[in-house]
Amino acid sequence: MAGTLLDIAIEDCRERMTRAVEHTKAEFAAIRTGRAAPALVEKLKVEYYGAEVPLQQLAGLHVPEARVLVITPYDKGPAVLKAVEKAILSSDLGVTPNNDGSLIRLVFPVLTEERRKDLVKVAHHKAEEGRVAVRGARRGARKDLEGLERDGEISSDELDRAEKELEKLTHEHVGEIDRVLAHKEQELLND
C-alpha cells in the first residue's frame, strides 16, 4: 500500500512538473524572434460578440514569407477584422496590422539589438516562472509525502527515498527549462 501511495504522489508531481515545462515552452513560442510564426498570435484574446476568444478559433493563420503573417478570419464581417486588429494593437507584439478588408497582414520588422536584449530578459523571466512552478510542484509533493509519514502510511526511510526522487525530478525539469531557454536566447540573439 505504501509503495503505491508513494508512486502516485511522485507520478502526480512528475505530471505537474512536465506541464510546467510545456507551459514554459509555449510561453517561449510566443516571444517573437523577427520571424513570423502563428504561435505569436494564436493565443491572443479577441473580443468577439462579448466573449474573449483565442484568435486561433476565429481565423486561419499562415506565413507566406519569413517576416509576414496573414490572418484570415472565418467570419468575413468587418466587426471581426476590427476586433482582431484591436487585439493585435493592444498586445505587446510591436507590429501594426495591415487590414485590407478581408484579411490582416502583419509584417514583422527586423529586430533591433536593444529589442533583442529586451526579449531575452522576457525569456529569462518566463523561464524563472517555469522553474518556480516546478519547485512548487516539488514542495506540494513533499508536503503530501510528509503527511503520509505523519499518518503512518510510509516510513521515514521511504520518505527519504521519495524526497531524493523528487529532487532528481526537479533537477531534470529545471534542466529542461534551462536548455530551452538557452536555445531561445540563441534564436533571439542570432536571428
Whether 96 and 55 map to the same domain: the answer is: yes
Whether 116 and 174 map to the same domain: the answer is: yes
Whether 55 and 117 map to the same domain: the answer is: no
Q: Which pTM was predicted?
A: 0.73
Contact 59/72 with Cβ under 8 angstroms?
yes
Range of the domain at 19: 2-29+112-190
pLDDT of 79 > 90? The answer is no
What pLDDT, on the 0 to 100 scale, is given for residue 164? 94
Where does the pLDDT of residue 1 fall: very low under 50, low under 70, confident under 90, or very high at 90 and above? very low
Where does the pLDDT of residue 42 fall: very low under 50, low under 70, confident under 90, or very high at 90 and above? confident
Whether 59 and 103 map to the same domain: the answer is: yes
Q: Which of 107, 122, 156 is the last residue of a domain?
A: 107
Q: Please give the average per-residue pLDDT across 181-190, as a whole number.
A: 89
Specify the CATH number for the domain of residue 130: 1.10.132.20
H helices, E strands: number in the chain:
5, 6
The x, y and z cell numbers of residue 160, run together, are 527519504
State the Cα angle at 17 between 131 and 42, rounded to 5°: 80
Where does the pLDDT of residue 23 fall: very low under 50, low under 70, confident under 90, or very high at 90 and above? very high
- C-alpha to C-alpha distance for 140 and 34, rounded to whole angstroms: 39
